[in-house]
């Protein structure tokens, strides 16, 4: 019989782009002071959890978040920590760094993938197709690539 595993999933702390309403994807901005403080307090709350290992994506904001949390842990020097690029956020290609409102309520609703649907009615494959349709650099991830990665 195998031992049960508890998985804790934590989103990175608030970043500069979160603060000004920009899409991050693979673009990377550091945590703000407020983001660092929130993660610090989360780390205090998790300090007694018996973590076996810790992972984050290789984005700076995710690594910064993990390091703040682990630094507060009672056994931080004994917890293996690894980064893995497969757990990065969605790559929006040339749309990374754009304003959230312009992307999700301006550009994407005009694509064929949306076909008059509200943002909240669109499936992830449809959203990915819409992003691909407007990514001028050709860097955005197709749904199948993202689905396999996550």
Catalytically active residues, by annotation: 12, 89
Q: How far apart are CA 80 and CA 42, in angstroms?
A: 19
Site of tokens 């983001």: 35
Instruction: Give the separation between CA 145 and CA 90, rounded to whole angstroms.
Output: 10
**CA dist 54 to 7, 10, 16, Å?**
10, 11, 24
Alpha-carbon torsion (109, 18, 95, 92), positive or negative:
negative
Outline where the chain has alpha helix (H).
Answer: 16-20, 33-45, 60-71, 100-102, 124-134, 143-149
- Which residues make Cβ contacts (< 8 Å) with residue 3, sequence separation at least 6? none
């Amino acid at each position: 019989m195998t031992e049960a595993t508890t998985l804790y999933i934590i989103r990175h702390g608030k970043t500069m782009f979160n603060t000004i309403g920009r899409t991050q994807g693979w673009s990377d901005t550091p945590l703000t002071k407020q983001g660092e403080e929130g993660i610090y307090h989360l780390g205090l709350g998790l300090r007694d959890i018996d973590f076996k290992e810790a992972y984050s994506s290789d984005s700076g904001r995710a690594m910064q978040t993990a390091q703040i949390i682990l630094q507060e842990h009672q056994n931080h020097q004994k917890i293996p920590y690894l980064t893995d690029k497969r757990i990065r956020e969605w790559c929006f290609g040339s749309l990374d760094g754009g304003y959230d409102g312009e992307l999700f309520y301006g550009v994407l609703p005009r694509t064929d993938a949306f076909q008059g649907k509200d943002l909240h009615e669109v499936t992830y494959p449809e959203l990915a197709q819409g992003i691909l349709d407007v990514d001028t650099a050709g860097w955005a991830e197709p749904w199948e690539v993202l689905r396999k990665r996550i």
